[in-house]
Amino acid sequence: MENPEKDAFRDRPIRTFGRTGGRALSPRQQQLYETRLDHWRVPDPAGAPLDPRGLFPAAREVWLEIGFGGGEHLVAQAKAHPGNGFIGCEPFVEGVAKAIAGIEDNALANVRLWPDDARLLLAALPDRSIARAFILFPDPWPKRRQQKRRLVQPDFVTELVRVLAPGARLRFATDVSSYADEALLAFLGNGELEWNATRADDWRRPPADHVTTRYESKRLGDCDPIWYDLICT
């Protein structure tokens, strides 16, 4: 006998992130999350293509950050580039609340948030619609049995490349050595991403426009941060 709920659970993509909740939000964070998220949220595409240009009609380009954590990098980049639109993906409730606070404290109008699995957003975006993407210190799932949950897998890269415009830049960073190796293989195995590193400093030092976050500063991984800056052909 068919069971639609069981089938839907079975067919759901494996989660690439852990818990979405954590410690209690501060009173201000709770208030912002409850009253302002709908204002900043990317509309649910409900199966229809999502036009990012419709979110930012006057933007020169649309940039995407997948897994923005507490929103520090997202907010700083949006503030530094007011002529571009920014979409930030993050399922962790506290991170979303912090991002909303950062957006409103800096009076930004060029950011929209997707508080859910980034893969659902990618599936709704049109081809060649994103000019720049950031994946900075994604959940490393360091134990061997967990590594199938890592976000950067060949299928994910294929879908990401589909939405990247020709010449778009993709920045990836991790402080887990096995993830650095695995991600680079997935990126270069796609065939549409070029890594133009010519010396060790190209992956050992952060790019000049990088914004260091509190999570990055904790150095929780097993190596110094490794940086990949790739170009979509």
Instruction: Tell me the C-alpha distance between 86 and 157, whole Å.
Output: 20
For residues 90 and 134, is the Cβ–Cβ distance under 8 A? no
Task: For residue 139, indicate whether it is catalytic.
Answer: yes
Alpha carbon dihedral 217, 84, 194, 16, in 10-degree steps, equals: 50
Q: Which of 109, 114, 100, 34 is nearest to 71 (CA)?
A: 100
Instruction: Tell me the C-alpha distance between 34 and 14, whole Å.
Output: 28
The separation between CA 209 and the C-alpha centre of its own chain, rounded to angstroms, equals 17
What is the side-by-side order of every strand in the sheet holding 62-66? Answer: 111-114, 85-89, 62-66, 130-136, 164-174, 226-232, 193-195
Catalytic residue among 38, 116, 127, 139: 139
Tokens 């990012």 found at: 52
Tokens representing 195 are 């890594």
Compute and round to an integer the Cα radius of gyration of the chain: 18
Instruction: Tell me the C-alpha distance between 58 and 49, whole Å.
Output: 20
Tokens representing 125 are 């975006």
Instruction: Tell me the C-alpha distance between 209 and 132, whole Å.
Output: 13
CB atoms inside a 10 Å sphere around CB 195:
15
Residues designated catalytic: 139
